[in-house]
Structure 1
Amino acid sequence: MFSGKTIVVEGTSDKRRVKEIIKEPIEIICTNGTIGVSKLDEMIDELDGRDVYILVDADKAGEKLRRLFIRELPEAHHLYIDRVYKEVATAPYRHLATILLSANIDVHGEFLQKDG
């Protein structure tokens, strides 16, 4: 059972990385890169009434996707990784855990010290 929160990421490797870190039962949805208007509309309907967090890569494709969500789902919370890491899937565990924790998402404590 999910907690009423949803994290939107770009790919399955992002999903795996985030899923390892979070402690509470949160749904994680992959856009699988660029998303079409009809798929986005479906997704927005599914997300109605939920706390939505957008966590995408710090690159051109991620920023394009983020702008789309800002326009179509303005109530979503946007989480940003440091541009140095570029991708959610390769960002250090500690960095991601800190970002998630700052958004009041419960994380496994060991990831707050873990580097890799």
Structure 2
Amino acid sequence: MIEIEKVIIVEGRSDKQKIEKIINEPVEVICTNGTISDAKLEELIEELYYKDVYILVDADEAGEKLRKQFRREFPEAEHIYIDRTYREVAAAPNWHIAQVLLRANFNVHYDYLLKR
């Protein structure tokens, strides 16, 4: 069994599904369902302590609130941003998500890098 070293935290299930089809390497994608309690966050921090954690949330008020919470409680996490034009990870074009993941040093399926 392979130990997965990279984790991406997203808000919704549709975000998770989009990321999982674009990424071309073993990555755990965790869904917060939009919010996360302090207790759950503390549990998550312990669970992910030795992993490379990335935060990819929507470019809206709820996403920014979640991002601030992670910045405060999990400062080691790296933040990945989508263009504010798209507002939601699930609504952003696949090529855009592939590009932001590639810039964050993830392997992505080449086909998703092409604008269609």
Q: Deviations over 1:33-62 (max 9, x none)?
A: 111100111111111110000000000000
How far residue 3 of structure 1 moved from its aligned partner, in angstroms, is 3.2
Which consecutive aligned stretches of 4+ in structure 1 deviate over 2 angstroms post-superposition? none
* Aligned residue in 2 for 1:36: 37
What number of residue pairs does the alignment pair up? 115
How far residue 2 of structure 1 moved from its aligned partner, in angstroms, is 4.7
Which 5+ residue runs of structure 1 have no aligned equivalent?
none
Which 5+ residue runs of structure 2 have no aligned equivalent?
none
2:109 is matched by which residue type in structure 1? Answer: H
Give the aligned CA root-mean-square deviation in angstroms. Answer: 0.9
Q: Deviations over 1:53-92 (max 9, x none)?
A: 0000000000000000001110111000001000001100
* Aligned residue in 2 for 1:58: 59
TM-score (norm 2): 0.96
How many Å separate the matches in 1 of 2:39 and 2:98? 32
2:113 is matched by which residue type in structure 1? Answer: L
TM-score (norm 1): 0.96
* Aligned residue in 2 for 1:83: 84
Q: What secondary structure sits across from 1:90 in the alignment? A: coil
- 106-115 vs 10-19, which moves further: 106-115
